[in-house]
Structure 1
Amino acid sequence: MGLSLQQFAMVAGAHLLALLSPGPDFFLIARSALLRGWRKTGAVCFGIACANGVFIALAVGGFAALHRHGVAFALVQAAGCAYLFYLGVLMLRHARAASIAAHVQDDSPASKTGAWPTRFAMGFASAILNPKNALFYASLFALLAARDAPFGAQIVYGVWMFAAVFGWDLLVAMGIGHPAVVARFTRHGAAIERVTGVVLLAIATSVLTMLAREWR
């Protein structure tokens, strides 16, 4: 089975909604953009994207290796579905508006560092040390594997996700200096989290149902 547009839309949609939900990386970008401008924040964004790329590569490679072990593979897929289900419930129960101002500290030493490698390392460390990133990608690629997505298609999805993370983070950095953009994002933050929660629940339920049919 080749690259499916329907499958790509599902993966890209879930990934985009997850990006829209504010987390530690989002607030790091916001702080850096407000204090140093979006151009210098580009290094932070690239560091975050590279860390996501590491998780994507590990997920793709790991599931390619696991594919030949039927029971272990099915257990990992089920665990991935369970995590996405848990994440969806969590977003629905605790959806709230994001307060950017509360996360911006003018005296933050990390935000005032000027060298490009330092800002890159700051972004990379923020994303690579966040266990939710690892679990999210592992879960998403477990679902792709459950749908028999070929290795080549998973590579395409991975490249897309890397580009989406970097592009979205740059957009956040550029838009964060506009009060209207910040106000709108803050106002609709809870709704974004609820929609993300519903989508993750739907994907997890769909794949768990498919796995259950296969193992009857």
Structure 2
Amino acid sequence: MEQFAAVAVAHFLALLIPGVDFFLIVRTALTHGWRNATGACLGIAIANGVFIAGAFVGVALISNPVVLDTIQMAGGIFLIFIGIAFLRSNPVIAPDRGTGVKSRTWLRNFGLGLASGLLNPKNAMFYVSLAAAVSTATPLSLVLYGAWMFAVVLVWDVFVAVVLGSRHSLGYLQRILPWISRFAGVFLVLFGGSMVIGLVLKFLG
């Protein structure tokens, strides 16, 4: 029980730190509504689930330096691309907030969320480190840990999407949405650029 509590707390604290996935959810919720943003939330959660499963079953490939370097390069390029798209866009809050989810938009956001999660090497490294800390746990415990973390990622991301994409939030966020989009774009470009530059310097060194 103490080990589970430690794992749960460490994992949740990591979720509270704003990162690439957070900014993607925020912008998606504000521009497309929280229902469409659940696509990105599910994609991010599944990506985390892939890394959780890989780390907990002891797949060495996930922690292989070559694999991590490949993920880092692809992830950096992806983040730069998304960041530039954010900077070039003119985001507005969707006026129709109460209708059903449009499948095309939802699926597109799902794909973005899945790519964002899978192409972030920090996700892989975090779960590999966490798996090493619970290496003595029983297989059943690892299954429970993994299921818990997947559920927490999904619930937390949906919570963020609902809070920021609700009608109550729109009046406060309408004016600052362009600034949020620009800030997210700059953050993603800088973050992705640092990943690519860091990898290039690693190869050159």
* TM-score (normalised: structure 1): 0.57
The 1:11–1:96 alpha-carbon spacing in structure 2 relative to 1, beyond 3 Å, is farther
Q: Distance in 2 between matches of 1:60 and 1:28?
A: 29
Q: Which residue in 2 is equivalent to 1:149?
A: 130
Q: Which residue in 2 is equivalent to 1:80?
A: 71
Q: Which residue in 1 is equivalent to 2:113?
A: 133
Q: 2:25 aligns with which of 5, 19, 23?
A: 19
The 1:74–1:67 alpha-carbon spacing in structure 2 relative to 1, beyond 3 Å, is farther
Summarize the alignment of residues 63-212 of structure 1 with structure 2, pairs less than 5 Å apart: 63-65=55-57, 67-69=59-61, 73-91=64-82, 93-94=84-85, 95-96=87-88, 98-100=90-92, 104=94, 112-113=99-100, 119=101, 125-128=107-110, 130=111, 132-140=112-120, 141-144=123-126, 148-150=129-131, 158-175=150-167, 178-202=170-194, 208=199
Summarize the alignment of residues 55-66 of structure 1 with structure 2, pairs less than 5 Å apart: 55-65=47-57
Q: Distance in 2 between matches of 1:200 and 1:97?
A: 18
RMSD across aligned positions (CA): 4.5
Q: Distance in 2 between matches of 1:92 and 1:48?
A: 16
8 Å CA contact 1:92, 1:193 repeated in 2:
yes
Count of residues in correspondence between the two structures: 182
The 1:198–1:49 alpha-carbon spacing in structure 2 relative to 1, beyond 3 Å, is same
**Aligned-pair CA distance for 1:192:** 2.4
8 Å CA contact 2:23, 2:184 repeated in 1:
yes
Q: 2:41 aligns with which of 42, 46, 49?
A: 49
* TM-score (normalised: structure 2): 0.60
Identity of aligned residues (%): 4
